[in-house]
Amino acid sequence: MKLHEYQAKEIFRRFEIPLPKGKVASSGDEAFQVARELKGPPWVVKAQVHAGGRGKGGGVKVVQTVEEVKKAATAILENPLVTKQTGPEGRRVHQVLIEEGVTIDREFYLAVVIDRARAQPVMIFSQAGGMEIEEVAARTPELVLKQFVDLKAGWMPYQGRNLAYAIDPLPGPEVLKELMAIMGKLYKVFITLDCSLAEINPLVITKDGKVMAIDAKITIDDNGLVRQKELAALDDPREKDPLEAKAIKHNLSYIRLNGNIGAMVNGAGLAMATMDVIKLAGAEPANFLDVGGGASEEMVTMGLEIILEDRNVKAILINIFGGILRCDVLARGVLAAAEKTAIKVPLIVRLEGTNVEEGRKILRESGLKFMVAKDIAEAAEMVTKQVSRSA
């Protein structure tokens, strides 16, 4: 579960990580009032969305008057924000964070994440902050420093020194001390709150020598939410992909992806394998969808409806190995969906397992247009051919 920047900053404040003063607002007028209570100029107006790269996309504005705060806030709230991470259609912004602006001298990157291969937290630090860390890692990997954390020992002061004393040119002793203290605090946030990510980019040194978190990103591990009730309440459903939100409501494991082949599969393993085979055939899956081993007819219908609602989908592949979910139940679910929403894209079906004959018969006699594949490889070939034809 992702938090908004302003929510992450409230948490940082609780853990005494230094931050600029600020407050969230949901209209231009409110932004104006908030700015009048804050020190400025400059003020900073920041779009609150679950997407990075706001700075480059016009979602972060540094302004010099309270009137400009109102203007910037209104513009951000009224237009969808397009960044590298939102897709071309952009994202609606419901809130803006207004902050006291600071004059930046240097920008660093600091984050804690889980290193899955080592199964331990890792603190990542770079003196090339402000930019996307992926870019820094690709271009100048020597500037991305890591310290793996032993879970029993916790974050150790020497690890902070390993990171901070690598900065070139080396900042003064007060700044170094503050940087190392913030590292310890960020680790504490990460561990205490069951985070999968706690990130500050940029962590800055201001012109007057203060160290401050200018941005804040926290992601809570969904499996930790049972014991992080207070954080679970911070969830903002407006930020979820509408199709993913619908899937959650119906107990379907669905993740939207960038490709154009909709896939409906039963079983997570088979769903992953199906995506692999689609890619191997030269196409891209539009989603991961596991309707589940014991899916009901209604769940199959809902799954197919969700796929049909995705406008990027140019062909659909149904790959079902009937076990507990019998092939006849699948077939009825598909027909029910087809009755509600006309299926205008090619449909390729690969059915095997329990009640397969009955399932095939139901589909055959339904008048529904579809193609049958004998195995998963052929299914992927067929579906790929369909999209390349329509393109």
Angle made by CA atoms 67, 71, 74, in degrees to the nearest 5:
135
Q: How far apart are CA 9 and CA 191, in angstroms?
A: 16
Burial of 109 (0-12, 13-18, 19+ CB in 10 A): buried
Active site residue 199: yes
Q: How far apart are CA 195 and CA 193, in angstroms?
A: 5
Q: How far apart are CA 25 and CA 94, in angstroms?
A: 9
**From Mn ion, ligand GDP, none, interface partner of 54 (C-beta below 5 to 8 A by class):** ligand GDP
Question: How remote is the C-alpha of 294 from its chain's centroid?
Answer: 28
Residue closer to ligand GDP by CB (options 53, 353) is 53
Residue closer to ligand GDP by CB (options 85, 354) is 85
In whole angstroms, the minimum distance from the beta carbon of 50 to Mn ion comes to: 13
* DSSP result, 269-317: HHHHHHHHHHHHTT--BSEEEE--TT--HHHHHHHHHHHHH-TT--EEE
Contact residues for ligand GDP (CB under 6 A)?
44, 52-55, 60, 62, 101-102, 104, 130, 201-202, 214-215
Catalytic one of 199, 239, 305, 381: 199
In whole angstroms, the minimum distance from the beta carbon of 38 to Mn ion comes to: 20
* Strand 96-100, strand 43-47: pairing: antiparallel
In whole angstroms, the minimum distance from the beta carbon of 105 to ligand GDP comes to: 10
Residue 342: what residue type? A
How far, CA to CA in Å, does 25 sit from each of 53, 70, 256, 310?
21, 10, 30, 32
Catalytic one of 109, 178, 239, 381: 109
How far, CA to CA in Å, does 150 sit from each of 131, 196, 247, 376?
29, 16, 38, 44
Residue closer to ligand GDP by CB (options 60, 111) is 60
Question: What 3-state class would DSSP assign to 176?
Answer: helix
Q: How far apart are CA 249 and CA 135, in angstroms?
A: 37
In whole angstroms, the minimum distance from the beta carbon of 51 to Mn ion comes to: 11
**From ligand GDP, Mn ion, none, interface partner of 53 (C-beta below 5 to 8 A by class):** ligand GDP
Tokens of 139: 């271009």
In whole angstroms, the minimum distance from the beta carbon of 92 to ligand GDP comes to: 16
Nearest of 212, 220, 289, 216 to residue 255 by alpha carbon: 289
Active site residue 100: no
- Point out which residues pair with 123 in neighbouring strands: 112, 147
In whole angstroms, the minimum distance from the beta carbon of 236 to ligand GDP comes to: 16
- 94 CB contacts (<8 Å, ≥6 apart)? 26, 48, 77, 238
> In this structure, are residues 359 and 326 in contact, taking their beta carbons and an 8 Å threshold?
yes
Of all residues in the shown chain, the one whose CB is closest to Mn ion is 215
Residue closer to ligand GDP by CB (options 130, 292) is 130
**From ligand GDP, Mn ion, none, interface partner of 44 (C-beta below 5 to 8 A by class):** ligand GDP
- 310 CB contacts (<8 Å, ≥6 apart)? 243, 256, 262, 286, 287
Contact residues for Mn ion (CB under 5 A)?
201, 215
Residues that are catalytic: 109, 199
